[in-house]
Each structure stands twice: as structure tokens, then as C-alpha cells.
Amino acid sequence: MQWLRDGLGIIKSSSDIESLALSVPDSGGVVFVPALTGLGAPNWDPHARGLIIGINRGTTAAHIARATLEGIALEVLDVVDLMSEEMGSRLPCLAIDGGASMNDLLCQLQADIAQLPVKRSEQVETTGLGAAFLAGLGVGFWRDTAEISQLVRTSGEFFPMLTRDDLHAQWRGAVTRSLNWTNLASDELAK
């Protein structure tokens, strides 16, 4: 979202992406792989690069905004799938926080794409809160994690309403095209 704001200038603030993306019913076939600095799990490719594919003459900034939100949710889905595979069971829900979690459309897309309930923390930045909980637990302020779990509140819950398997297939195809990009460019220059 920061890149859409600072790099492309199609939004003035990160919060503008939601209304822009909601102005179209879907991404119009546009897929965005947000590998602007490589890809982490499950691909682990520092040479991958961002990719916008599927654009045509009818593609607008709104389609790119929507594809960006879908790309974030699809990137999370890849990690959720990997975690589920490693655990041998499906996660019961996703608990989210951070600035992007304030975007209701992103939260709903995440629920739809992952086919999991998404619970947004009331405290948007939970890293500091988690450190405080651990410190309080360490000095005996709280007896156990069960007592701490009573303090955790959500500010929104999102439940799957649609199935988006087609998006995931497009996403995987786009990710494959983004892999090893900087090495490919270097190889071509060396020829």
C-alpha cells in the first residue's frame, strides 16, 4: 500500500486504498504479486520481484488497488497453507493486527481467500502489548496466559462469504512468473 502511495501516487494515504478498491466489483483479472523486495515463505526467493499481470486498456487504478489487496491476502494464504501443512491441521482462525488490519475490505478478502474467520485485534499494534504481557507474566502481575487471554479484545470479525479458488490459481501462476527475476535479468545481461 505504501508503494501505491509513494511509488505510483495513485492514493494520497494508505487509508484511501479501501474506497478506491471498492469502486470496482473485482480486480478485472489483474493480479499483483507484492514481491517488491523478494518473496518469503513458502517461496523463499530474494530474487523474486513484484509483478502486475493481466492489465488491459480497461484497467484502472481501482483495479490495481483491488489486485494489491487481493495480493496481500493471497500471500498470507500461502503462509497459512504452509503452516497448516506443517501442523497437520487447519488453523481455526486468523488473528490480525497492524495498520493494514484497519482496512475492512482487506479483512473480508482475507477471510474469503483463506476460508477462515479473521479476528482483528482491538489494539492495532500488538507487538508492544505482547511484550508487556510477557513482562507482566514474568514478574507475576498475571498468574498465567489464561488470565491474559481474558484481556484480549477484537474490534472486528470477518467470516468467509465467498470462495475465491480461481484467484489462488491465478496468483500461483503469477508468483511462478515473478520468481528468480533478478537472476534472470543478470543472466540476460551477461549474454
Residue from 107, 90, 109 nearest 99 by CA: 107
DSSP 8-state assignment for residue 81? H
pLDDT of residue 190: 58
What pLDDT is stored for residue 60 in this prediction? 97
Q: What is the pLDDT of residue 38?
A: 92
Q: What are phi and psi of 44, to 5 degrees?
A: 45, 65
Q: How does 86-99 read in b/e, with b if 16+ C-beta sit within 10 Å? A: eeeeeeeebebbee
Longest dimension (CA), the chain: 65
Tens digit of pLDDT per residue, the chain (191 long)? 889 999 999 999 989 999 999 999 999 999 999 999 999 999 999 999 999 999 999 999 999 999 999 999 999 999 999 999 999 999 999 999 988 899 999 999 999 999 999 999 888 888 888 898 899 999 999 999 999 888 888 888 999 888 777 888 888 899 988 888 888 666 665 55
| Spatial distance between the Cα atoms of 158 and 116, rounded to a whole number of angstroms | 9
CA 12/CA 61 separation, integer angstroms = 13
> Which grid coordinates are listed for 31?
493480479
pLDDT of residue 104: 95
The predicted pLDDT at position 169 comes to 86
Residue corresponding to grid cell 507484492: 34
pLDDT for residue 171: 86
Please name each of the domains of the chain with its CATH number. Answer: 2-190 (3.30.420.40)
Copy the grid coordinates of residue 9.
501516487
Query: Residue 185 has what pLDDT?
Result: 61
Residue 114: closest CA among 173, 161, 53: 161
Alpha-helix runs per DSSP H in 6-60: 16-22
